[in-house]
Amino acid sequence: MPRRERTPPAVQRPGVVGTNTIRADGIPKVKGEFEYSSDMRVEGMLWGATLRSAHPRADIWSIDFSRALTIPGVHAVLTHEDVPGRKLYGMELADQPVLAWQHVRYQGEPIAIVAADHPETARRAVDAIEVEYDVLEPLTDPERAMAAGAPQLHLSGNVLRHVRIVHGDPEADADVVVAGEYEVGMQDQAFLGPESGLAVPDGEGGVDLYIATQWLHVDRDQIALSLDLPPEKVRLTMSGVGGAFGGREDLSMQIHACMLALHSGRPVKMVYNREESFFGHVHRHPCRMHYEHGASADGRLVYVRARIVLDGGAYASSSTAVCSNAGCFAGGPYDVPNARIDSYVTYTNNPPCGAMRGFGAVQVALAHEAQMDKLAAALGIDPVELRIANAMRPGTRMPTGQVVREPAPVAELLERVRAMPLPPAPPDDGRD
């Protein structure tokens, strides 16, 4: 078992609402004694490393790891042929290979994994593996991915999901109309603690995995399917998490570490460096948006029409849910009686995208708030007043058809923020 720090329990006392409580992990973190997943180690463990694709789109002709096996200290080199169970995994759709075969669909996709008695030896073994590719032109533009004649990256096609929301009369006329094109790029969660985990075989065909993750049970079920084991033979223990923000919802090295441990019969630790971490987890979806708002002359919203295109990257992860979320939140916190919203997410040869804080709502917020500013300028109305006049309230029917029944103090919050005094301007230091 890896060594684990014991932390004091949180202090329980009556009337805790509105008072401070002691964090169970606070003292060891302040003292530098907290054990993150990358700190774990056990006697006799091996180190795992991953060979990743050098190309965003290619066919794989051959994988030759014979030289890697001759390096002293190398205990295992595994490819897709060594996956005991289901070769594909995924949170919503099982479309992502545990280890790539036949094709690679993004730069950095795992192809082979190595276990060795030293991390540098494992990296040398990875460098010794030879992969013969037929390199193809990558498809990196989500709009092009939806066009007729685009290469199909998956048998199901390139459009992973299309959500259409129609509310009221989206063709209604308005006195004032503003439109805009908006784009949000890919963003990374950039958590401080990189992906890391320790897999320990139990000697009876099962495995214990100590991992920093967000969804232990979802991880466990996916790992078990790929290892061809019953779920009770795969036991996960939450280890110290150095940040997540959605980036640890999906799998990274979980299956790989367990495969190496079961194959070698030894504990195997895997830790990504910062560069590898960027390849090893999902990101915020890049997004292109076209918006059109119509309003009456006195500033009441009449309609919103939006087209949202999210780049899901090479595999699905949680893209279908993010696409739905983006469509549902596309109108913003406003009472707009008529709407037509089309939200798409496509496959491309970019890195996979998935959960990140906001989950689709962040991208559309840029667009609908920029639109409100444009509309205020076109109407000659204060942008805060425009938002207050159109803020959703209890009883508002949203474009999805949902009626707001809970308190929705959007207007009140805007008024309170507007009433707050601005901080003083910084002194002029004479510089431009």
pLDDT of res. 276: 93
The domain limits of the chain are: 46-135+190-280, 142-187+283-417
pLDDT at 20: 84
Position 10 pLDDT exceeds 80: no
| Confidence bin at 192 (pLDDT 50/70/90) | confident
pLDDT band at residue 241 using 50, 70 and 90 as cut-offs = confident
pLDDT of residue 8: 44
Confidence grade of residue 295 (pLDDT, cut at 50, 70, 90): very high
Is the pLDDT at 2 greater than 60? The verdict is: no
In the predicted model, is pLDDT for residue 5 greater than 50? no
239 vs 74: which has the higher pLDDT: 74
- What is residue 278's predicted lDDT score, i.e. its pLDDT? 87
What local confidence, expressed as pLDDT, does residue 35 receive?
A: 86
As a whole number, mean pLDDT of residues 148-157 equals: 96
Q: Inform me whether the pLDDT recorded for 6 exceeds 50.
A: no
pLDDT at position 1 over 60: no
Overall CATH class of domain 46-135+190-280? alpha beta
Q: How confident is the model at residue 15 (pLDDT cuts 50, 70, 90)?
A: low
Q: Residue for token digits 């790029």?
A: 185
| 34, pLDDT greater than 90 | no
Between 188 and 300, where is the model more confident?
300
The CATH number given to 142-187+283-417 is 3.30.365.10
Give the pLDDT mean for 369-393. 97
Average pLDDT, the chain: 93
Asked if the model's pLDDT at residue 49 lies above 50, the reply is: yes
Q: pTM, whole model, 2 decimals?
A: 0.90
